[in-house]
Structure 1
Amino acid sequence: MFETDEGLWPYPRPDSPPLLTPEQAEHTLNVWLVPRFSMLTLFCLLEPLRVANRFGRDLFAWRLLSSDGEAVVASNGVRIDVDGAIASLDDTTRLMVVSSYDAEATVSFQDRAVLRRIAVHGGWLGGLDTAPFILARAGVLSGHRVALHWESVAAFRQEFPDLEVSTARYEMDDARLTGSGGAAGIDMMLTWIEQAYGPALADAVGLQLIHQRPRGGEEKPQPRYGDLQRGVIRALAVMEANLGKALSIPELCRLVGQSQRQLGRLFRHHFGETPQQCYLGMRLDRARQLLTDSQCLVTEAALASGFTQPAHFTRAYRLRFGEAPSVTSARSRNGG
């Protein structure tokens, strides 16, 4: 639930919120893009923050930076515009360094001086993929466990024998964040979200990203429904397979092999809602996806989601998303 001027809504904002400026957001992450950086790592770093903003207040903003304030070319050849140069950063800022190939080739003495200045003033420094090399050569990782891409571990240990290298996907304390890059950036940002706002928001963001976090620093991801009882997993699978044909709850229970009372108890325990409420939400989500990602009509989306009465569909849709399905459809058709 999140609060608006109109009261409490049970679902994230109906639209992705606009990109926030540092003045608008409660937290800002500055990202220094080193030439030939990993585009995958950048996306995995930013997407959890973007999705978190859908669930309520203006939580996160980000700024992309380079050494000289000019655009940077990623390892895949894509050119990315930036918002400024790292020299413009405040002393107590949050800065994440993203690099990949030839991490040190373009890093200057002045760049390392910026890192040292931030470290001296208690700033928050991080590095992903090969970026821990940049931080280590600037002398800002002493006393911190270091995680980096597995291909670089041997060379890092040889060059920095006094630093403790971790085999975890990422390491995170109050002042330093290092990680292996790629999907580990999602895990790192979900941990930050959890520390700042609690596990419910982090779990909700993970679900939106279709991402299952490893637990306790484990390298092997856990099964998607590892904590759920078999009957609940089976019920969710039946619901997903029948979004276009709304089953009655007694029929659902028959297919699952659970009594209505037992399944209701399990769903209230795991999700805080009844099987009927969960099923309705899944069908409405399907309708919204169709209206957003295709050119289908409202009536077509309703029928494809198991709704035979337009008035019922419109009421339920408006309650969940805060707008009529026709509004979603019009925005999609207009490219909004």
Structure 2
Amino acid sequence: MSDDTVYPYPRPDSPPLLSPDDAETTLNVWLVPKFSMLTLFCLLEPLRVANRFGRKLFAWRLLSADGQPVTASNGVYIDVDGAIGDLEMEAPGQTWHSESITRLMVVSSWEAEATVTAEDRAVLRRLAAHGAWLGGMDTAPFILARAGVLDGVRVAMHWESLPAFRQEFPSIRVSTARFEWDSDRLTGAGGSASIDMMLMWIEQRYGPSLAEAVGRQIVHHRTSEEQPDNQLQHDSRLPRTVVRALAVMEANLAPPLAIPELCRLAGQSQRQLTRHFQSWFKETPRQTYLGMRLDVAQRILADSHVSVTQAAMAAGFSHLATFSRAYRQRFGEPPSATARRGQAH
């Protein structure tokens, strides 16, 4: 049989790990310190399994900003194959089309911009100027946006980062989908959503049969890219009126609703809703609602470069003193301390 024969099951004699010289397509992955190991595995495993179905399809290279090993958020130390700047020196005179296009996926998580330099962002801009395919998972869209390479495209990311991203980049279209592929920009929430993203890529390039076979092999049921990740996972035992009340709160963080109006929309009297909340959460609906808004403000301050006043307004607080007092009580520090760390990234 020829090497191009498509097999119904993975071939034991087909090496799943290929070099860029052997594979049809190479995915370069920039690992930013404290990156998500889960996201990295979910990106690469579908590609590895696809290679076992009889063709030399995918290779990948792990990169860092300086070519030195990187530590993931779980403390695991990862060796890399080179630096992101190496991509600019490859294939002099290449035409940047078809299979010669450079593909770079940025993977980050905690403190996404703490180690990213102006030169790193300049590398991204130069790659984009030459037609590179660029992606970012989890919090990496912040890195791409600050490099100016996400203008005019829809962007998806981890749901915790959405408020901060919207605040800092109001002109960029943000999606609540698990991932978005818009033109030559691919962004997503990270984690298991990366598997769905890679299966879609496999399907687009090689057809649904291979994508379905890979999904079966890794025991993964595909989820539509349009399905948003829930920002708040609810206990299935919660009363329906409590679930409705939580949904109303999430949808009306700024400006917040008065509690009587919230109860009306949830279809429950204030007395009964308070009883349910105290039974399930050990706090009143007002306290839960306040906590939601403060959590949003904290994520904005931690992940973006906005001011304390802007974060307070985005979370529905009209009085800065009230916001600061509640914030300190919940997080044990003033909002200005969180903002300083966010602005340092």
Give me the TM-score of the superposition, normalised by structure 2. 0.61
Find the counterpart in structure 1 of residue 250 from structure 2.
none
Distance 1:119 1:131, change over 3 A: same
Give the Cα–Cα distance (whole angstroms) in 1 for the partners of residues 190 and 22 of structure 2. 28
Distance 1:4 1:12, change over 3 A: farther
Give the Cα–Cα distance (whole angstroms) in 1 for the partners of residues 54 and 143 of structure 2. 36
Query: Given the alignment, which residue of 168, 179, 189 partners 1:180?
Result: 189
**1:66-106 deviation per Cα after TM superposition (whole angstroms, max 9, x unaligned):** 00000000000000000000000047410000000000000
SS at match of 2:59: strand
Deviation, 1:216, is 5.3
Query: Which ranges in structure 1 are unaligned for 5 or more consecutive residues?
Result: 222-336
Q: Which amino acid aligns with 2:75?
A: G
Aligned residue pairs total 219
Find the counterpart in structure 1 of residue 21 from structure 2.
23
Give the Cα–Cα distance (whole angstroms) in 2 for the partners of residues 134 and 203 of structure 1. 32
Give the Cα–Cα distance (whole angstroms) in 2 for the partners of residues 6 and 193 of structure 1. 17
Distance 1:209 1:158, change over 3 A: same
Alignment map for 1:202-221 (pairs within 5 Å): 202-215=211-224, 217-219=226-228
SS at match of 1:17: coil
SS at match of 2:55: coil
Q: Which amino acid aligns with 1:207?
A: R
Deviation, 1:21, is 0.7
Distance 1:201 1:108, change over 3 A: same
Query: Given the alignment, which residue of 48, 51, 62 partners 2:49?
Result: 51
Answer yes or no: is the 8 Å Cα contact 2:6–2:53 preserved in 1: no
Sequence identity percentage: 72
Deviation, 1:180, is 0.3
Give the Cα–Cα distance (whole angstroms) in 1 for the partners of residues 14 and 83 of structure 2. 28
Could you say what the CA RMSD is over the residues aligned between the two structures, in angstroms? 1.9
Alignment map for 1:2-13 (pairs within 5 Å): 4=2, 9-13=7-11
Deviation, 1:218, is 1.9
Find the counterpart in structure 2 of residue 68 from structure 1.
66
Answer yes or no: is the 8 Å Cα contact 2:31–2:107 preserved in 1: yes
Find the counterpart in structure 1 of residue 342 from structure 2.
none
Q: Which amino acid aligns with 1:32?
A: W
Find the counterpart in structure 2 of residue 289 from structure 1.
none
Find the counterpart in structure 2 of residue 264 from structure 1.
none
Give the Cα–Cα distance (whole angstroms) in 1 for the partners of residues 201 and 182 of structure 2. 10
Query: Given the alignment, which residue of 134, 137, 147 partners 1:138?
Result: 147
Answer yes or no: is the 8 Å Cα contact 1:22–1:62 preserved in 2: yes
Distance 1:55 1:22, change over 3 A: same
Answer yes or no: is the 8 Å Cα contact 2:7–2:53 preserved in 1: no
SS at match of 2:52: helix
Distance 1:110 1:193, change over 3 A: same
Q: Which amino acid aligns with 1:172?
A: W
Answer yes or no: is the 8 Å Cα contact 1:214–1:220 preserved in 2: no
Query: Given the alignment, which residue of 70, 74, 77 partners 2:75?
Result: 77
Deviation, 1:56, is 1.6
Deviation, 1:10, is 4.1
Query: Given the alignment, which residue of 89, 99, 116 partners 1:107?
Result: 116
Answer yes or no: is the 8 Å Cα contact 2:4–2:54 preserved in 1: no
Give the Cα–Cα distance (whole angstroms) in 1 for the partners of residues 145 and 37 of structure 2. 22
Give me the TM-score of the superposition, normalised by structure 1. 0.62
Distance 1:121 1:5, change over 3 A: closer
Deviation, 1:15, is 4.3
Find the counterpart in structure 2 of residue 242 from structure 1.
none
Query: Which ranges in structure 2 are unaligned for 5 or more consecutive residues?
Result: 89-95, 231-345
Distance 1:164 1:4, change over 3 A: same
SS at match of 1:55: coil
Distance 1:70 1:213, change over 3 A: same
Q: Which amino acid aligns with 2:142?
A: F
